[in-house]
Structure 1
Amino acid sequence: MPTVPTDHLTFFNGKRVLITGGLGFIGSNIAHRLLGLGAEVLIVDSLIPEYGGNVFNVTGLEDQVRINIADIRDEHGLRYLVQGQDIIFNLAGQVSHTDSMIDPYTDLEINARSQLSLLEACRHGNPATKVVFASTRQIYGRPEYLPVDERHPLQPADVNGINKLAGEWYHMVYHDVYGLRTVSLRLTNTYGPRMRIRDARQTFIGWWFRQLLEGRELQIFGDGLQVRDFNYIDDVVEALLMVAAHDVADGQIYNLGGDEPINLINLARLMIEVNGGGSFALTPFPADRKRIDIGDFYGDYRKIRSKLGWRPLVGLRDGLTRTMDYFRDHLEHYV
């Protein structure tokens, strides 16, 4: 395995960085990390309640970052905001799979059309910038084999997956045709401090954290034997920084993935143990969720490991403990 690159830790010193969706889970964690590396950070977020932005996520950073409350669907605003930015972490999106089936047009606007607007803004107003796009494992749909690598067929199981795939491919086309420096990371289940736990819109594991901390019983859909992999937020942030800093990543698509795939019953047991108490029960799948469930999934991240040296460093138990401790201390700001 190649030596893990370290120059990405100095690369960001003095760089101007824009984070779309920067008050959300992943974006705010990137902002904290970038400020520690000496970057100048501009956060753009719509703060639409359903989409996960939370001002508390940047508590302590108010005097160090610029925050622009704007919607990425505003093409004219985007053309102004991208100017002069060295790196753009493009994280804004609609992440709820069930919401995408209820309101597919809004999902289309945010996850597809708005991505095109951002790329057009860069092409015309800042063609030298680098754009890192947060894609998703959801675009693979129901796996034909495991672990899922980047060559796996793309067959999204819901509207959200289709629109995220379109957003990703816009980034690749703009690299291939116009020479924009773009890269896409296909994220798996990401968890950690500052994630949305108010409901299950962002991810079920966030909802489980809240239920456990409030003394409620976890509800597991189906037989609970569905297998998933997980990445702790610090590992995901490092991957995003690596691909942003290294030219070899330009025009590439990389999977992330975890080393400890686990079924949902065992995940629930581990979270209950970490919490120091709790319970779970199996419940039939709601019809709307069953139709778009992808079954077992865990990703193959060998490509990013071989090219950039990335691998997850935070084990599942450690990550769950850190996350539980964070929300135990700050629960009132997230519910």
Structure 2
Amino acid sequence: MSIILVTGSAGLIGSESVRFFCEKGYTIVGIDNNMRETFFGKGASTEWNRDRLSQDYGEKYIHHSIDIRDREAIENLFNTYGKDISLIIHTAAQPSHDWAARDPYTDFSVNANGTLVLLESTRQICPDAVFIFCSTNKVYGDSPNYLPLIEKELRWEIEETHPYNKGIDENMSIDQCKHSLFGASKVAADVLVQEYGRYFSMKTASFRGGCLTGPSHSGAELHGFLSYLMKCTMTGTAYKVFGYKGKQVRDNIHSYDLVNAFYHFYQNPRVAEVYNIGGGRFSNCSMLEAIQECEAITEKKLNWVYEESNRIGDHIWWISDIDKFKSHYPEWNLTYGITEILKEIFNQNVSRWV
């Protein structure tokens, strides 16, 4: 029996991974102790999603409420399933710039130490398994903010002749820049994943995502851009835009498209790979453009205010160049654009939010 282990299994990417691989007939062992509620409050709890997975998939989904920092508990779990584990999808994290600055010890222990615990258990117990890590574009710090950006009516853009016009690739340096403490803890984890691949010849990959999104996101003010924006538009909750005139640009990748990329890597894995992954030029928007989209879909006006100061280390413009991954896995493609993503978030959450 082939077991797939998913950390953060009740979160956005974790739950999408559970659904994706259960539908393909795999048995999933999920790890999630609902720390998202600890980070962002009750409204960000993932318990509803965990319960839904258990209802939908029964014995195909085995849930464990374990902290990934608990070395003994993780080692016991790995020993229980042993060499039947063929894939680890590591999505558990503390994901917020602002929260990391409030409690750096917890942020680093979850993002860096927790990743080390998982990597070492993989090496000791199932070294032939594929290890996929949800990294982040924040490993590049604020380096993208020094690109030659142009201010337009609704967004910042980059010069058409610039090499990064189609998106930022993996050659951008992660050094000599401001990351935020969250970015620094994710850099540590990202480099560990690479090193376990290179040093021990393990099949590892760091997927450096931009904005990851979808209808299963428990969006909160500090994390979950499109989900929280749509929720505020639907419910009349006040929304705050932080800096850059609301023209900051993000590419957004639907959770299904990301997990499908994981699946392609799993079928033909490589050693110590790094991929920038996101919506690219196919799926991106500014904050102002996203607000317009949400208002059009809901037929409501968003109650929003502008805070002139931006979040420390935040990007003004980020679009991923996904050509490297597509060159390795040419059969993979993006399927969701911004409008399709927002409509799905709206349609699947009406009963929860309204």
Match of 1:190 among 212, 215, 238: 212
- How much has 1:280 moved relative to structure 2? 4.8
**Which amino acid is the alignment partner of residue 102 of structure 1?**
R
Query: Structure 2 stretches of 5 or more lacking a match?
Result: 148-163
Query: Do the aligned partners of residues 44 and 260 (structure 1) sit closer, same or farther apart at CA in structure 2, a change above 3 Å counting?
Result: closer
Q: Specify the alignment match of 1:203 in structure 2.
A: 224
SS, match of residue 57 in structure 1: helix
Distance 1:265 1:330 in 2: 25
Note the 1:250-261 alignment, pairs <5 A.
Answer: 250-258=271-279, 259-261=282-284
Note the 1:108-257 alignment, pairs <5 A.
Answer: 108-142=108-142, 143=144, 144-145=146-147, 146=164, 147-154=167-174, 155-197=177-219, 199-222=220-243, 223-247=245-269, 249-257=270-278
**Which amino acid is the alignment partner of residue 327 of structure 1?**
N
Q: Specify the alignment match of 1:11 in structure 2.
A: none
Match of 1:44 among 31, 39, 57: 31
- How much has 1:330 moved relative to structure 2? 2.9
Q: Specify the alignment match of 2:153 in structure 1.
A: none
Match of 2:317 among 296, 301, 315: 296
Q: Specify the alignment match of 1:98 in structure 2.
A: 98
- Whether 1:264 and 2:287 are equivalent positions in the alignment is yes
Query: Do the aligned partners of residues 134 and 36 (structure 1) sit closer, same or farther apart at CA in structure 2, a change above 3 Å counting?
Result: same
Query: Structure 1 stretches of 5 or more lacking a match?
Result: 1-13
SS, match of residue 73 in structure 1: coil
SS, match of residue 291 in structure 1: coil
Contact 2:7 2:89 (C-alpha < 8 Å) held by counterparts:
yes
Query: Do the aligned partners of residues 53 and 281 (structure 1) sit closer, same or farther apart at CA in structure 2, a change above 3 Å counting?
Result: closer
- How much has 1:102 moved relative to structure 2? 1.0
SS, match of residue 311 in structure 1: coil
TM-score of the superposition, structure 2-length normalised? Answer: 0.84
- How much has 1:61 moved relative to structure 2? 2.5
Deviations, residues 204-229 of structure 1 (Å, cap 9, x unaligned): 32221221111234432231111111
Q: Specify the alignment match of 1:311 in structure 2.
A: 333
Distance 2:308 2:62 in 1: 43
- How much has 1:99 moved relative to structure 2? 0.6
State the Cα RMSD in Å: 1.8
SS, match of residue 170 in structure 2: coil
Q: Specify the alignment match of 2:15 in structure 1.
A: 28
Distance 2:284 2:118 in 1: 35
How many percent identity over aligned positions? 23
SS, match of residue 63 in structure 2: strand
- Whether 1:81 and 2:73 are equivalent positions in the alignment is no
Query: Do the aligned partners of residues 291 and 209 (structure 1) sit closer, same or farther apart at CA in structure 2, a change above 3 Å counting?
Result: same
Contact 1:268 1:280 (C-alpha < 8 Å) held by counterparts:
no
**Which amino acid is the alignment partner of residue 319 of structure 1?**
I
